[in-house]
Structure formats: structure tokens, C-alpha cells
Amino acid sequence: EAQVTQNPRYLITVTGKKLTVTCSQNMNHEYMSWYRQDPGLGLRQIYYSMNVEVTDKGDVPEGYKVSRKEKRNFPLILESPSPNQTSLYFCASSSNSGTGGRGYTFGSGTRLTVV
């Protein structure tokens, strides 16, 4: 089954303790992206990657890091989490080819709480 898999689904952590949220896709997609979803703010892009070893900042990159060493994986790293990073996070992937008519496939989300 074609899918984007995020782990973990739920995570509670303490301020300053480094964490990684994993994202993996099995569709050979070139493009991958991370979003955070907050009430009243909708979805905001954190980072995206057009292909292996190519990453770029989205709208809200502060406090986050990413890497794209393999095509299928795109982990999100919080080096020193703070309470304002408490949010619902989504990973998404898409093919780069053809027109812009290709939508994204989303993971099921990771609910992160930083205390």
C-alpha cells in the first residue's frame, strides 16, 4: 500500500531534550515536506526537500532541522524542544514530475507535547 509513515504518533517530552520524528514513504517520491498544524493557524510548512541532499526552509523553520540522505526518509529533528513547539506535525510526499496537479500524500500525524 502506498503510504507515508510517521513515528511516533504521540510524544510527550521535556524542554531541551533532543528528539527526532521519523517519516518514510514507499512511493519513490522526490518531494517531501514537514508541516505543523495549530488551531487558528492552519498548516504551516517547516521544511521541504526537492530530492536527496536538497532541503530548504519553509515558513516556520526556526528550532527545527531536517536531513534527506535517502529518498524514502525525511526525519524532523528538534535539537532543543521548547513548549511553543507543542503541535500536530504532518509529513507529506509528492512526485516532482509533470504539472503541479499532483497532490500530496500525508502521514497520519505526530502529536508532540513539550512540557
Minimum CB–partner distance for residue 36 and other proteins (Å): 12
What's the count of helices (H) and strands (E) in the chain, helices before strands?
0, 11
Question: Which residues partner with 42 through β-bridges?
Answer: 38
- Contact between 52 and other proteins per CB under 8 A: no
Stretch that binds other proteins, among 11-19, 44-52, 64-72, 76-84 (CB under 8 A): 44-52
Considering the rule CB under 8 A, would residue 101 count as an interface residue with other proteins? yes
Which ranges in 53-104 belong to alpha helices (H)?
none
**Total Cβ atoms within 10 A of residue 10:** 9
In the set 19, 22, 73, 109, which binds other proteins (CB under 8 A)? 109
Q: For residues 107 and 84, give the distance between their C-alpha atoms in angstroms, rounded to a whole number.
A: 22
Residues that bind other proteins (CB under 8 A): 31, 33, 35, 40-43, 45, 48, 50, 58, 90, 92, 94, 96, 99-109
